[in-house]
Structure 1
Amino acid sequence: MTRKLPPRRLLAVAAALALIGHQAKAETAQPGRTTTEDTDTACPLGTFHCPPKPPSYAMCRPNAMLDFYDPTLSRDPSLRETSPTSVLAQHVDSSDQAVYHLSGDVKLDRADQKLQADSLDYNNVSTDYDARGNVRYQEAGQLLSASHMQGNTNASHGIAHDVSYQMLDARGNGVAEQGQMFDAQRTRYTRATYSTCDVGHHVWEFRAKSIAIDKTTGVGVARNATMRLGKVPFLYLPYISFPVNDQRKSGFLYPVFGKSSRGGFELSTPYYLNLAPNYDATLDPRIYTARGPMLGGEFRYLFPRTRGQFNVQYVPDDRGERVGLEDTKDTERYLVNFSNVTRLWGSWNLISSINRASDSGYYYDYGEDLATTGAVVRTLSSNVAVRGAGKWWSAAVGATVYQNVNPFVTDASLQYRQLPYATFSMDVPLTPWLEFGMDTQAVAFRKPGYIEGEREDLYPYLAAYFGTPAWFVRPKVAYRYTAYQLDGDFQKYGGSRGALLGAGGISQFTEQSPTRALPIVSVDSGLVFDRSTSLFGSSYTQTLEPRLYYLYVPYRNQNNLPVFDTRLMSFDYWQLFSPNQFSGADRQMDANNLTAALTSRLLDENGVERMSVSLGQIHYFSPQRVVGNDWVHSAYVAQFGLQLSDRWRLNSSYQWSPNTRMTEMGSFELQRRVGDDGILNVSYHYRRNLLEQYGVSGVYPLSDRWRVVGAVAWSVPDGHSVEAAAGVQYDSCCVALRLVERNYVKQSGYGHPAGSGNQRDNAIMFEIVFKGLGSSGHQIDSLLQRDILGYQ
């Protein structure tokens, strides 16, 4: 029979809600349903920084829920207050008007809620209830089964025995001998388990004597807990707290295990401190078997006008071999990183970035294992600046210093310190087609043992734009004025044109206040033609874009100007249209040049560029005296890109010089997607007299659970790899394993004693990810994202 009961006669509904709604929130949606993570497309080809994928539960059993789950039940809890309650039972006894006795396959339905039991008693006056025999409950977010459940709906307390639970909005599930509800927010489980694995197939789980849940604070506490892999306990914790919602929570993070040749085996056991809503900290005690203990720490803060982060690593007594410190007894070492942004007034901010190591060998011994991004660190920079910006201007005043952290070279390799510097830039539209701009800089350069002084660089300009979508003309007139004030002992230093270019003679500086002033005139122009075409059965728009760029800069003798921060840049395609081939203001090239370039593109029906090819060359009407060549033409520069589908992509560039009749530069990059979760990259990079390097990297799925990863960068002149990494990854419903080994160059051979060569090292790291609980740090991912283009 079916009867309508008032909303308060839901029997055990309140108890079921409190007993289940407590588990730690995992990162997926209802099991058995398609989640966002499973339907996201792969990272687009060519993307340098692919976002990490959230934990995938695609390999979990789609029916891994308690067997009474009803997929047709409503998923909207807001319908409860307005929905009637439907009760179905084989027998109903209401002879006592205060107590209802229901038996025989009892079923109650209301909106998203469903309760089933063999028998159920309900007191209409006291709101006590007693459900017995095969008790099953479902609502929008969870499932619960028990042998016996009793309590009081008004007081929101109750006790359930022989509990099994399954969360639907998260993957948490487990069993408990008893569940006790104190009120609607506080629950305690006795002899309970928790896991995000399939129901009845726990690869890992927590087992605890008791688990207490407080939903108001978002904290769960487990006492006398063990974590198990299968049936094997591997971690005992007499007390552990964990978050049960999105709130941050103090507690241990998962440990990191690794090994490197400099540090030996490494164990890190970080502890997170949730100190306040706007600041927190992490303590990271570590032990290196070859070096001893280290204490690391991180402090983050966020206030209305300031935010920042402070990181420190402190080694009280380094027992390992110390490069560059062989003659000292100081075994205390440290690394400090501090960054901060403070709003001062209006758009002005104080920006700080302080990085300091105890000695030049710190990164060599501690900082370049598998746990870092993999880049060789040779210099630490520290900067403090006040910066502001408006609609048409930006400005900064600050200072920058550098520290050498390559123990195999002297401090002579460091850049000049800028103590202080000031910059100002503006770009003001005068009319719809004309703008006035200016870039200015004033810097005081300091470097012991080298010429020092101040430099001012003023760069005002007028730029116009004329054109339509089919053509454009962009004339620009600029004036560059650079002035120096050298320190009093400037005459004892030599000025060298060869310091920049590797040629020329050395002369003494003869002026304490040398200057350079010259105009810079350019005209950039182009046309755009397009037509419809087809290729391989698809329709495209093809463009043809000729472009001419004229540049005039008169020659100025600059041999008597010091070189503080300027280098001759490598010649690339964009320099066909650049007013200067030097970085920094110490040198301005002379020019009487005309660049001719041609570009053609294929655009699909959605406007996406599927192919592009460009070819260009500079014609020199007069010799380049500052750069130091008398060529009539530059190298031919060509670029080619092709991506006709989302499965593969090709990029290449090439430079051939008619002056040397040799290839100056060449690069080739091919990226191919393998299946839905694999990627393959093949590359070749060549620059004459500088490098020749092959690279292969990829992720290859062997099956749904296994995939191999690897990356090799091979230097042809050196005859060995610059870096090689290989590993294997295993993925399952609730556990992922990663193992990677890396062999790499720690420091370059530049500046080493004869025969020392490149300094190499090996590192290995193992990472285990318990889905829904976090992992040991995702440090392997950061390395593979750098080495494997398209890795996720």
Structure 2
Amino acid sequence: PYYFNISPNMDATLTGRYFGKRGPQIDGEFRYLEDNYSGKNQIQFMNHDQASNKDNRYFVKLEHQHKFNNGWSASYNYQKVSDDTYFSDLATMIQVTSVVNLPQRANINYTGDTWKFNALTEKYQTLTNASNSPYQRLPQLDLSARKDYDSYILDFRSQWAYFDRDDKFSSTYTAEQKITGSRLSMTPSISIPFTETYGYIKPKLSANIRSYSLNNSSVGNKDIITPILSLDSGMYFDRKINLLNQSYTNTLEPRLFYVYIPYKDQSSLPIFDTGLADLNMQTLFTENQYNGQDRINDANQLTAALTSKFIDKNGKERLSGVIAQRYYFEDRKIFGSDLEAKKANSDIFMGATARLANSLNLDAMFQYDPTSSTMLRSTLSSRYNPEPGKLINLSYRMIDNVSDNTQDLKVFNAAGQWPLGNRFYSIARYNYDLKTSQTIEVLGGLEYDGGCWVARTVFDRISLPTSPQPNYTFFVQLELNGLGSIGSDANKLNNFLYRNVPGVRTVNQIPDVNRQANFN
């Protein structure tokens, strides 16, 4: 690459690539940074692709963020490619080849002490299966406010959006997918929290108000109002305890979360941006199980949880555990005839964390179905990180899908980084599917610390579900401290390593005292 240091706050990079079966490609990037704004523009261009016989293949990505006075800001992100197979043909990074929707959005935002406002326009360039492309928001306006008083809290959230589809794909849409139109939603609420050192009670009353004006639908205009009542409560108990000659504070924290939402028939309303959220330890304590505004579930339910912690004399949480379950007092009509809607209680969710030392962390999460006596999900992970540049991650993940065993998952993952001496560092990852007895991904790499320069090589092999043959990638990079890099793009390679080995540090990110110890 050619690097142009235009000014202290502005630079450009021009990179030439040659694909053995396709021909030359040029890649240009321009970056700028000021006190109130910053941006990055990237353009890739190939005049003629010899393998596909396509001309003028390109990728454009324009990004800008701007901060104004008095809480106002704005940004845009525009991405476009010349054809649907651009990334699968020309991308050199695994995560890029799977891109399906390219965003083309711009927004203006205001954040004040009480009020917040956001204006957004958003559409996508869909590369495959246009019928599953997201709706365009042309535009979307969000307005919210929150005011804390001495004895109560007022909250208001509202959104108006016009949802549209790209007409050029209209022949692939179903009747439901052809529905467009506007949706106005407002949710005012009032909560009256009672908080003491030993516990809290937080009653909350809100109303979800929606108004639709639809095209290509027999519904036309429709309004719906859904009241929501919730009560969150918890207690806090603690005691002093000695374990292994160490003093700890042991806490016991029960929590009850009740929600009541009457049933409202919403079957005639379209689904623009809404999906059913996965039930887990976090979503157990939400009022609505749906993401988005098109569906509000009915509810008469209570979630109970019990948390216990061991905190050392320095205030660090060394051990904790939590167990939670939701109890339903009525069948849920919003789920139709699904068996889940008739369950008297949810699965049992359990979690535990242990910080046995400052360098060793252990985590476990479980989801157990008491009806079928089946462990549906489990995740076990450990992380050993005694110092920067020394890292070992181990994890096991299991999913038992009772209704569809083709979706079962049993995966073991090992990843890490370790100094080898003589200025060399190793990095590796091994991802194995225990169900199919197949290797999903293998990564191995070496870094050499030359002091004022760093050389690194990384090899990656990944099996893709869309191809019978694995995908191989090989990176070579020479980085000159303070000047730039030769070979694979530094940011792309670093992001690739961060994704595969969470917590990894490249040589330049390791403190000098740790680097010096690896010189011999």
Q: Quote the offset at 1:444 in angstroms.
A: 1.3
1:427 correspondence with 2:146: yes
Q: How many residues align structurally?
A: 482
Q: Quote the offset at 1:769 in angstroms.
A: 3.6
Asked if 2 retains the 8 angstrom alpha-carbon contact of 1:685 and 1:691, the reply is no
Q: Quote the offset at 1:789 in angstroms.
A: 2.0
Secondary structure of the 2:54 match is coil
1:392 correspondence with 2:143: no
- Kindly report the root-mean-square deviation, in angstroms, between the aligned alpha carbons of the 2 structures: 2.3
| Greater share of residues in strand | 2
Q: Quote the offset at 1:378 in angstroms.
A: 2.4
Q: Deviations over 1:351-378 (max 9, x none)?
A: 21111111121111222427xx678422
> Aligned residue for 1:744?
462
Q: Deviations over 1:280-322 (max 9, x none)?
A: 32222222223211111122234565432211111111223x4
Q: Quote the offset at 1:573 in angstroms.
A: 0.1
Asked if 1 retains the 8 angstrom alpha-carbon contact of 2:301 and 2:327, the reply is yes
Q: Quote the offset at 1:745 in angstroms.
A: 4.9
Secondary structure of the 1:643 match is strand
* 2:288 aligned to which of 580, 583, 592: 580
Secondary structure of the 2:443 match is strand
* 1:404 aligned to which of 120, 126, 141: 126
Summarize the Cα distance change of 1:512–1:719 in structure 2 as closer, same or farther, 3 Å threshold: farther
Asked if 1 retains the 8 angstrom alpha-carbon contact of 2:277 and 2:283, the reply is no
1:684 correspondence with 2:399: no
Q: Which amino acid aligns with 1:783?
A: F
- Please, which runs of 5 or more residues in structure 1 have no aligned partner? 1-269, 323-328, 492-510, 750-756
1:477 correspondence with 2:205: yes
How do 1:149-160 residues align onto structure 2 when only pairs under 5 Å count? none
Asked if 2 retains the 8 angstrom alpha-carbon contact of 1:691 and 1:715, the reply is no
> Aligned residue for 1:413?
132
* 2:428 aligned to which of 697, 710, 721: 710
Q: Deviations over 1:417-462 (max 9, x none)?
A: 1111111111112x22311111111111122432212111111111
Asked if 2 retains the 8 angstrom alpha-carbon contact of 1:633 and 1:658, the reply is no
Summarize the Cα distance change of 1:644–1:303 in structure 2 as closer, same or farther, 3 Å threshold: closer
1:271 correspondence with 2:2: yes
Q: Which amino acid aligns with 1:463?
A: S
Distance 2:36 2:453 in 1: 42
Summarize the Cα distance change of 1:379–1:368 in structure 2 as closer, same or farther, 3 Å threshold: farther
TM-score scaled by length of structure 1: 0.58
How do 1:100-139 residues align onto structure 2 when only pairs under 5 Å count? none
* 1:316 aligned to which of 47, 61, 68: 47
* 1:446 aligned to which of 148, 164, 174: 164
How do 1:476-625 residues align onto structure 2 when only pairs under 5 Å count? 476-487=204-215, 489-491=216-218, 511-625=219-333
| Greater share of residues in helix | 2
> Aligned residue for 1:496?
none
Secondary structure of the 2:497 match is helix
Summarize the Cα distance change of 1:734–1:439 in structure 2 as closer, same or farther, 3 Å threshold: same
Summarize the Cα distance change of 1:539–1:571 in structure 2 as closer, same or farther, 3 Å threshold: same
> Aligned residue for 1:726?
444
Q: Quote the offset at 1:379 in angstroms.
A: 1.9
Q: Quote the offset at 1:706 in angstroms.
A: 3.0
> Aligned residue for 2:70?
346
Q: Deviations over 1:90-116 (max 9, x none)?
A: xxxxxxxxxxxxxxxxxxxxxxxxxxx
How do 1:45-444 residues align onto structure 2 when only pairs under 5 Å count? 270-302=1-33, 306-320=37-51, 322=52, 329-343=53-67, 346-369=70-93, 376-405=98-127, 409-429=128-148, 431-444=149-162
Answer 1 or 2: higher relative contact order, Cα 8 Å, separation at least 6. 1
Secondary structure of the 1:622 match is coil
How do 1:687-698 residues align onto structure 2 when only pairs under 5 Å count? 687-689=399-401, 690-692=407-409, 693-698=411-416
Return the index of the structure with the highest Cα Rg. 1
- Please, which runs of 5 or more residues in structure 2 have no aligned partner? 402-406, 506-520
Asked if 2 retains the 8 angstrom alpha-carbon contact of 1:400 and 1:417, the reply is yes
Asked if 1 retains the 8 angstrom alpha-carbon contact of 2:91 and 2:97, the reply is no
Secondary structure of the 1:490 match is coil
> Aligned residue for 1:458?
186
Q: Deviations over 1:594-649 (max 9, x none)?
A: 11110001111111111110001111011122134111111001110001202211
Q: Quote the offset at 1:345 in angstroms.
A: 5.9
> Aligned residue for 1:789?
502
Distance 1:362 1:717 in 2: 33
Q: Quote the offset at 1:725 in angstroms.
A: 1.3
Distance 1:309 1:774 in 2: 17
Secondary structure of the 1:644 match is strand
Distance 2:156 2:331 in 1: 29
> Aligned residue for 1:68?
none
Q: Which runs of 4+ in 1 moved over 6 A?
A: none
> Aligned residue for 1:767?
477
1:468 correspondence with 2:196: yes
Q: Which amino acid aligns with 1:579?
A: E
Secondary structure of the 1:433 match is coil
Asked if 2 retains the 8 angstrom alpha-carbon contact of 1:631 and 1:659, the reply is no
Q: Quote the offset at 1:718 in angstroms.
A: 5.1
Secondary structure of the 2:333 match is coil
